[in-house]
Amino acid sequence: MPIEPISVDWAAARRVSYLLRQSFRYEYPEPIRELNHRLVVIPPERFGDQRRLRHQLSVDRDGVRFENRTDRFGNVVVDAFAPRVSEGIEFVAEVSVERHAAQPNRLADGWLADGYLLEPSQLTDADERIREAAKALADSAEWGLPLADSINDWVYQSMTYQHGVTGVRTTAAEALEIGSGVCQDYAHVMLAACRACGLPSRYVSGHLLGQGGSHAWVEVVLPTKDGTGDAIASTFDPTHASRGGLGYVTIAVGGDYSDVAPTSGTYLSSARGRLFTSKRVTLINLDYAG
């Protein structure tokens, strides 16, 4: 039976389970051909303290072929192929996951080899304003988690949450210049500042309990300094000036939004399709500290 989030003592919660249902329906004014679609909507089997218990991806028509793969970030990617779609197609993902408190997200030695944690991406390249802010923040806070906290707060204070003023191709510099945007933009600005300060960091796509759409936040990845070469990935949510918590469900990670876009693809037709989405995250189990 679903549990109302407002009734939860999150400080005392130790284990939670969620059921996620998400749908993506595309409608077309005329038939399309050779649909080649990419879905990043299923979380990895394990991600830090998060464990995937069950998952299913379905489609509302016959003749669609699915191929599963893992990308270079460890994300689950499902490629869907359909020779013809007459009027529309709907993909539905159902996932159940479990999270445990006080279990850090530990990355094995070699975590810096890919380079994306420190290198600016097309959407997170810092301009002069971001570089100047990063320098001021680095001068006032100790490198590591204290600096990440300062950047998290700075982004929250520098932006106003507003739909419709940015898009999926808006860069961090453009969003900061506008001074408004959505969670994706907050994450991009934080990533630009972190990388300008030499803080390894990555974009996280997922869901926050109680929010209607998908959510985005940042993980700052720092060495453990215990001789293993491992690192700990710590959550920061600049949209809410918070350090995350058990109310977050991770789907995928990457350098920026373009690496983890939930739904994208191509087809043959001059017609433009319309996308309709829905999402529901239900808290289904909860354990407190004994």
Q: What are the tens digits of pLDDT across the range 12-65?
A: 889 999 999 999 999 999 999 999 999 999 999 999 999 999 999 999 989 999
Tens of pLDDT, residues 134-164: 999 999 999 999 999 999 999 999 999 999 9
pLDDT above 70 covers a percentage of the chain that reads 99
Q: Give the pLDDT band of residue 287 (cuts 50, 70, 90).
A: very high
Residues of the chain with CATH 3.10.620.30: 105-260
The whole-chain average pLDDT of the chain stands at 94
Q: Give tens-digit pLDDT for 159-211.
A: 999 999 999 999 999 999 999 999 999 999 999 999 999 999 999 999 998 87
Q: What pTM was estimated for this model as a whole?
A: 0.95
Q: What's the burial of 282, exposed, middle or buried (CB within 10 Å: 0-12/13-18/19+)?
A: middle
**Confidence at 290, pLDDT banded by 50, 70, 90:** low
Q: What CATH number has the domain spanning 15-101+261-285? A: 2.60.40.2250
pLDDT for position 4: 81
Q: Tell which CATH classification among 3.30.950.10, 3.40.50.300, 3.10.620.30, 3.40.228.10 matches the domain 105-260.
A: 3.10.620.30
Q: How confident is the model at residue 137, as a pLDDT? A: 98
Q: What pLDDT, on a 0 to 100 scale, did the predictor assign at position 125? A: 97
pLDDT for the residue numbered 242: 95
Query: CATH 2.60.40.2250 spans which residues of the chain?
Result: 15-101+261-285
Percent of the chain whose predicted confidence (pLDDT) is above 90: 88
* 277 pLDDT more than 80: yes
Tell me: pLDDT of 1 over 80.
Answer: no
Assigned token pair, 179: 């001074």
